[in-house]
Amino acid sequence: MKIYHNPYFTLYNEDNKLLIEVHKPGYNLKNFNQIIVDMPVIKVTNFISLKNALANAANMKIHIGYIKPKFEVIISSDELEAKIKLNISEAEYERDKAFITSQIIPELIKNGVKEGFLYETISSNIPVQKEIVVAKGQLPVDGRDAQIRYYNIEEKKPVVRNDGSVNYYELNLIDNVKAGDWLGEKILPTEGIPGRTVTGKIIPPKRGRDMQLKYDKKTIKEVKSDDKITLYALIDGAVKIVNGKITIQNHLIIEGDVGYDTGNINFEGSITINGTVKDGFSVVAKDDISILSPMGIGAVSKIVSKEGSIYIKGGIYGKTIASIEAGKDVFVKYCNECKITAGDTIHIGFYSLDCILNARKIVTDPENGKIIGGTANAKIQIISATIGNKLEKRTNINVEGFNRLEIKKQLDDSLEKLDRLVRSGERIRKHLEIYENSLPGAEYGNIKEYNAFLEKYQSVVDQINEVNQEVKYLQKILQTKGEGEVDILKSAYPRTFIKIKQLEKKIFSLIYGKFYAIGNELLHD
């Protein structure tokens, strides 16, 4: 088919091939560019053949390129986008705009485009000889992962007042709930919304990852609804996290005093005593103990929390008899002539007088806290505003200390273990994703394998949390000065005896600052 003619040559379209027949020589090759501009439908691919044909005028058809479609449809490799390119001139577009516009959608359909048409773009002025997006697919919306939240059990620590001071004795140690109280929930994962390509293919979404609610089925029940599972307390008690599971532990509340009316208390749970513990009586619990009388306690036999913390709102007048022992922390307003042992930290509001204190760390109120007389033994650190008194009462301050290199090695080992666990968790998570993508309509065996991987993944997460706690503990140790530290915030009086590791220092005059051990030296800042 003849598509162009002048005295020098004729252009033909034969099966979409561009052919030229030159009748006489002399046509300038540069002038041929204007024909290309005026006829965007032609595409010259062999300029050497074109040059030779114009020069030789062989009067035979020479293949020099191909014919582009007027409506060139380009579909992206992911089929999420379709473009059109109008291989026509501006003049042709302006002349036949209505007709050209009406042909775009039929051309798209002819090339496999079925949906996602951008009608506004198509009906507007489309630039010629440019690729313009005229259809868009829809990406899938991946399903939302399960979302879990539990009753908020805050870390028990002294409260910072508005003025910046620390309240070491106003503490609510036990999280009490009643049967029927909300304890947590899981918003179920969603399947997601499928996407579609411009050619009509469905793009499946990624299903949201499921997670297990971890709770004690003996004390907590779950209630299912359409989109979530809610946890409620089955019994009254104290909320705890035990081995990664939320549970309600037995919680004994004594409205009055522990004394002749109650006898000694030995309880496998937590205890709140709204009164006091009278002289000679004992309270032993597996978990936390709170004694809320502002009068405190006196010459009790013993107060023991095997695995929890002890909070005494008032103080202790121990008369050299009282013994306080906690698996975790002890919080007390003041203590006088008693023995206190804590697995972690002893927090003292006002003062310790003639007491024996044993803990990983001992801390008093930074403004008013005093350690006077007796012996304070800590593994890592002792912090007090004042040590000793003006009467130069002998006060023994001992810090066992630690080997910084060994602690660093333990920290490095823990960080390495944490890294291994994280990488292991990531590998398991990728397996989960494979199963999750195939879960709709999956066979029972696959679902069983998926649940096994899910359980394994959650076990790794629990281990990660455990190692994280260990890392934080070791990092706290390394934050202390040297290899054991005594921090005197205001003053230490004469006859204060400081011992860190095997290094001893007797105080002869008022002094403050930090004493710490490095190697075989006891240093002071």
Using one digit for the tens of pLDDT, what is the confidence trace for 318-339? Answer: 999 999 999 999 999 999 999 9
CA 141 to chain centre: 22
Q: What is the pLDDT of residue 408?
A: 92
Separation of alpha carbons 516 and 466, rounded Å: 30
Q: What is the pLDDT of residue 441?
A: 45
Which structure tokens are listed for 154? Answer: 């805050």
Q: What is the pLDDT of residue 436?
A: 66
Q: What is the pLDDT of residue 438?
A: 63
pLDDT in tens, the chain (525 residues): 899 999 999 999 999 999 999 999 989 888 888 888 888 999 999 989 998 999 888 889 999 999 999 899 999 999 999 999 999 888 889 999 999 999 999 999 999 999 999 999 999 989 999 999 999 999 999 999 999 999 987 766 666 566 656 555 455 566 778 899 999 999 999 889 999 999 999 999 988 888 889 999 989 999 998 889 999 999 888 888 887 889 988 888 888 999 888 889 888 889 999 999 999 999 999 999 999 999 999 999 999 999 999 999 989 999 999 999 999 999 999 999 999 999 999 999 999 999 999 999 999 999 899 999 999 999 999 999 999 999 999 999 999 999 889 999 999 999 999 999 999 888 888 877 776 666 554 444 466 777 787 788 888 888 898 898 899 889 988 989 899 999 999 999 999 999 999 999 999 999 999 999 998 899 999
Torsion sign over Cα 448, 449, 450, 455: positive
Q: What is the pLDDT of residue 223?
A: 93
Residue 33 neighbours by CB under 8 Å, 6+ apart: none
Q: What is the pLDDT of residue 261?
A: 85
Q: Which residues of 58-97 are buried (b: 16+ CB within 10 A; e: fewer)?
A: eeebbbbbebbeebbbebeeebbbbbbbbbbbeebbeeee
Q: What is the pLDDT of residue 493?
A: 96
Separation of alpha carbons 285 and 271, rounded Å: 7
Separation of alpha carbons 499 and 399, rounded Å: 6
Of the candidates 148, 151, 310, the residue with the CA atom closest to the CA atom of residue 219: 151
Which structure tokens are listed for 124? Answer: 């507007």
Q: What is the pLDDT of residue 425?
A: 86
- The CA-to-CA distance between both ends of the chain, in Å, stands at 100
DSSP structure class, residue 32? H
Reduce the DSSP state of residue 23 to 3 states and report it: coil
Q: Is the pTM of this model over 0.85?
A: no
Number of CB atoms found within 10 A of residue 110's CB: 11
Q: What is the pLDDT of residue 180?
A: 93
